[in-house]
Structure 1
Amino acid sequence: MNYIEREQLISVLYRHRDTQSVKVLTGVRRCGKSTLLRHYADKLLADGVPERNIFVKRFDSFDMPLGYSAEQLYRDLRNAAETSESGTFYVMLDEIQEVDGWEKVVRRLQTREHTDVYITGSNAYLLSGELATYLAGRYVEVPVYPLSFREYASYVAQRSIRESQDQSFARYMMFGGMPGLYSDGAPEDLNQTKAQEILSAIYESVVIKDVATRYGIRDLATLEKLSRYLFATSGNLFSTNKVVGTLKSAGIGITNLTADNQIDALEKAFIIYGCEQSRLRGKELLRPQRKYYPVDNGFRNLAHGFDGSDQGAQLEGIVYMELRRRGYSVSIGTLPDGEIDFVARRGSEKIYIQVTLNMTDENTRARELAPLQKLNDAFPRMVLTLDHFGLGVTDEGITIRNVVDWLLK
């Protein structure tokens, strides 16, 4: 099996190594959390940490006994800690939400001296309820997303595959960055049939295990129709009334409340992310709308049968997820007479971003620049495009940049 280096995430774990905070790795199922944790354990061994000082357990594996309890976990941890050598005792609990009552075990671990704890989970439930109460202010969340284009391109380069950056990006844009797509074969061998099989299996696993089972949703057919609708229409302003009407016209009965609850469950499973409108000038919006984006562009194309349609929306989704990956909170900027695709904030930083396939057409160029030209603060303004021409800085100080170069920076 091929391992794809994720240096940035490894560096985040190292930065928090041997601190008292519990490290909580969250992300959609099969995005690489387990592999990342295993690779981190290997690095600790290479650093000289004794093997008996690293306790790793994956709770969704075939080898895990059915009905494994918090009491059994506590006993196993005590036995392992008693036989460990001097120095830090590292504990890595993968997909811990599979164990009922696990929160109390983690809380006790957090109070033990010279113990460094890492846990992973595929649902936002991990950071709610009892754990948030037990560990308030004593944990750090490490979001794990599917492969960035930079990680994917690095993997392609390591394999000495002869193709241009644009060719690599075209494949990434079509199939996405779920690690399972590339773990058992060369990227150039990936085709629509294989991608559909792998992504469909991941999607079904998320919908059944992390959404339907977790939240007691029995109507799987409606849940599947709703989630695929969100994938297929990503990048469009969302209206609950509209989606309920669309599903009803297709013979699927669903209420507004049910739709909202199911969307909330999909968000908590990290398979979709909502981006809300925010007013840049004038009064605050009383009822801000949202756009939804799948965690990985491959899911959008899965919903469309990989027909490559609406590449502008695809590109927008890739940029949105990259901004989240870089630690920004992201909203849609609304003006009285226009919209800015993304307003990205990170601490005191703020940047306005427009996303478009090309800027060569004068009408398109004028349309994309117009909302940015209406802003009068000093924060950076940028247009990201697939174009290689017409890049640079406008007279108004707006940067026009190739999106592939931006993704690789």
Structure 2
Amino acid sequence: MRLQTIAHRDRYERKLAEYRDSQDIKVITGVRRCGKSTLLKLLVDQITSELGGTRNIFYRKMDGFGVPLNPDAEWLQSELLTALEMADSSKPLYVFIDEVQTIRDWEKVVRRLHTHPLVDTYITGSNAHVLSSDLATLLGGRYVEIHVQPLSFEEYLQFETAAGTSPLDTSTLFSRYLTYGGMPGQFDIVDRTQDRMARFLDAIHDTIILNDVAMHTQVGDMDLLSKLVRYTFSTSGNLFSTRNVVNALTSAGRKTYAETVENYLKALESAYILSECEQTGIAGKQVLRPQRKFYPIDTGLRNLASNFAPKDLGAQLECVVFNELVRRGYNVTVGALLKGEIDFVADKHDERLYIQVTETLASPGTYERELAPFSLVNDAFPKLVLTTDRLRLGTTEQGVRIENLVDWLLKGWS
């Protein structure tokens, strides 16, 4: 292992700076090991430097050494009262709690912190239960969520530069990003062989399943949960049928129920490791009972489920595009047509974007198949095909834009 590689993640840091010194509780959420702790520590170091010391800094990393094994609200309140007594009362006390969900009844203390005029609070959590409806009610809406994802490809290239690794061309780096994903901790591995990356990703997977899924849900069958994770990851991009999954498991001698499968899926979503993408009807199509697809938060975790088998490149590309659209603030659905579908319908405010994702448009049959669904959509919203090709890019006579996927990922956005 090398020293921790850190590159600034400007979009998240700007968001934190925007809400600094406000009464809002800053809640940093995201899948475990996506960079929340590093983001928080960078802010701790920045404010410590500005204040000239740690007197007005309360920082607890709850999965680190030196904290109680079973922390609760009483312990947290006692620690905070001591910090308030020691702080310079002419300045705010900055409170940073990393992985706050490990503290039993922590929300009771945070609610009281919210009423203190000279406390600026930042917490991180790896499970959506951190922002449960109960907490939202307790805080009266006075919080802001900053959701962090694994590295975008743009950020991945910045981390490659910060790590000082041997220069590789963008195409090779994208292939590596597609295979092993964007978890920042990989840049602390000196030699990122497939074996080492598999062990790295497997450790993350196991920690998420045990700490952020099983501990927050009544998981009565860990083997079933593991099989469901493997299935949803390896078939991402396909329409999902709970009934088919239940029937397949039952046929294999594993009796289960639709309710159990749905509960486990919700638990995986709450741990931010899996996202649902529901159908929406377009161009006259009515969807009374929408089906859905699932996409893993990271292609590395997805490929781990299939032992990095070199297949399903199209599904991997879809996964990258889906997560990038979410990162850019879009609500993403699958476009259901009277005949066929459009991979993604991305909505943001009054903006809409129709997107098809394909590895290549090189063959005439593929070109026609990928563009045909757009002819059924008569509105004026932009239509886009993303491909790994470098040829035949531009805008068609029908107004469909064809872009290289890597170039699109590296386009600036705010």
TM-score using structure 1 length = 0.96
Q: Is 1:214 paired with 2:216? A: yes
Task: Give distance in 1, aligned partners of 2:59 and 2:68.
Answer: 15
Deviations 1:125-174 (A, max 9, x none): 11114312112321111111111111111122342632110000000000
Q: Which residue number corresponds to residue 87 of structure 2?
A: 84
Equivalent AA in structure 2 for residue 341 of structure 1: D
Out of 137, 158, 163, the position equivalent to 2:168 is: 163
Deviations 1:331-390 (A, max 9, x none): 001110121111111122211111110112121111111112222212111111111111
Partner of 2:55, secondary structure, is helix
Residue pair 2:128, 2:270 contacting (<8 A) in 1 also = yes
Deviations 1:245-279 (A, max 9, x none): 22223332211111111111111111100000000
Q: Which residue number corresponds to residue 295 of structure 1?
A: 297
Q: Which residue number corresponds to residue 199 of structure 1?
A: 201
Q: Which residue number corresponds to residue 177 of structure 1?
A: 182
Out of 385, 395, 399, the position equivalent to 1:393 is: 395
Equivalent AA in structure 2 for residue 176 of structure 1: G
Equivalent AA in structure 2 for residue 387 of structure 1: D
Instruction: For residue 218 of structure 1, report the CA deviation from its aligned partner.
Output: 2.5
Instruction: For residue 295 of structure 1, report the CA deviation from its aligned partner.
Output: 0.6
Task: Give distance in 1, aligned partners of 2:7 and 2:199.
Answer: 21
Counterparts of 1:36-185 in structure 2 under 5 Å? Answer: 36-48=39-51, 50-85=53-88, 86-158=90-162, 159=164, 161-185=166-190
Q: Which residue number corresponds to residue 236 of structure 2?
A: 234
Q: Which residue number corresponds to residue 19 of structure 1?
A: 22
Q: Is 1:30 paired with 2:37? A: no
Deviations 1:12-70 (A, max 9, x none): 11111111111111111111111110011112233346422221111222321122221
Residue pair 1:103, 1:130 contacting (<8 A) in 2 also = no
Residues 4, 308 of structure 1: CA spacing in aligned structure 2 closer, same or farther, 3 A cutoff? farther
| Percent of aligned positions that are identical | 48
Instruction: For residue 241 of structure 1, report the CA deviation from its aligned partner.
Output: 1.1
Q: Which residue number corresponds to residue 338 of structure 2?
A: 336
Residues 57, 250 of structure 1: CA spacing in aligned structure 2 closer, same or farther, 3 A cutoff? same
Q: Which residue number corresponds to residue 321 of structure 2?
A: 319
Task: Give distance in 2, aligned partners of 1:88 and 1:402.
Answer: 48
Q: Aligned-pair RMSD on alpha carbons?
A: 1.4
Residue pair 1:2, 1:184 contacting (<8 A) in 2 also = no
Deviations 1:271-312 (A, max 9, x none): 100000000133531110110011100111101111121000
Residue pair 1:3, 1:183 contacting (<8 A) in 2 also = no
Q: Which residue number corresponds to residue 361 of structure 1?
A: 363
Partner of 1:306, secondary structure, is coil
Greater CA deviation, 153-162 or 198-207?
A: 153-162
Q: Is 1:305 paired with 2:331? A: no
Task: Give distance in 2, aligned partners of 1:316 and 1:396.
Answer: 24
Task: Give distance in 1, aligned partners of 2:226 and 2:410.
Answer: 34
Task: Give distance in 1, aligned partners of 2:394 and 2:49.
Answer: 45
Residue pair 1:343, 1:350 contacting (<8 A) in 2 also = yes
Unaligned segments of structure 1, at least 5 residues: none
Residue pair 1:93, 1:119 contacting (<8 A) in 2 also = yes
Task: Give distance in 1, aligned partners of 2:55 and 2:236.
Answer: 47
